[in-house]
Amino acid sequence: MNIRSIALILFSSLISSPFLLAQDKSDSRYTIGERTRDGIGKYYLGREIAQVMGHQGISWLERDTREAEEAPSKAIELLELKPDTIIADIGAGSGFYSFRLAKLLPQGKVIAVDIQQEMLDFLAKRAKETNTANVQPHMGSIESIQLPENSIDATLFVDAYHEFSHPFEMMTSILKALRPGGIVYLLEYRAEDQNVPIKPLHKMSQTQARKEMALVGFEWVGTKNELPWQHLMIFKKPE
């Protein structure tokens, strides 16, 4: 066996070693550990970050059963948005929520943020087909929503935050982009409820969410539990 083969074996052993607590070089808040089936092996405040749903999942986002399963119309009602609200839909995907929100914001707009060009192309095509002028597709990055400071009133995350590879950096960029008193609506599948038929890494508990938001500087406002599978956790930027 040559030196190169031995090196490859040693490297493979290292990256597969359970709970390898090497620091992520990008930030000491993260650790690298065991990669589970639905995760990426990167941990933030004890939570393994989940794999991202790609643009291939558009059909699932647009499924006919979604209203019966998740009651998105009720979720939107719970947001209690004003007609002139400027809201960023983070991880907008197919725009399932973006276009429904836009109808309630005649003087406002929805900035539909995603990092996948395929999703943004889908959003742009849909906006044109439906003649929706107040949905603005916008390219973000894995670390930032790429919006100016104090430019938006609110942000909405629908089952997306738990997939962010750099949650601290992303939320820091959102803190800057929000106006004072601006709102973060975090809609996630309830980790506290074992009856919610979603993979564990794609759920989030209120305790974990509050811990992560507090680290960035957001204040918890409250949590609404009226939805079948999800809880709507509300945070705000200090005045």
The domain spans of the chain are 3-50, 55-236
Q: Percent of the chain at pLDDT above 90?
A: 83
pLDDT in tens, 169-225: 999 999 999 999 999 999 999 999 999 999 999 999 999 999 999 999 999 999 999
The mean per-residue pLDDT over the stretch 2-11 comes to 34
Answer whether 0.85 is exceeded by the pTM: yes
Choose among 161, 188, 142, 157: nearest CA to 49. 161
3-state secondary structure 33-56: CCCCCCEEEEEECCEEEECCCCHH
Residue 156 sits at φ, ψ, to 5 deg, of -125, 130
Q: Which CATH number fits domain 55-236: 3.40.50.150, 3.10.20.30, 2.102.10.10, 3.40.50.1370?
A: 3.40.50.150
Strand ranges of the sheet holding 47-50, from the earlier edge strand across to the other edge: 22-23, 30-32, 39-44, 47-50
Per-residue pLDDT tens digits for 55-95? 666 776 778 899 999 999 999 999 999 999 999 999 999 99
Give the type of residue at 198: I
| pLDDT value at residue 54 | 67
The separation between CA 227 and the C-alpha centre of its own chain, rounded to angstroms, equals 18
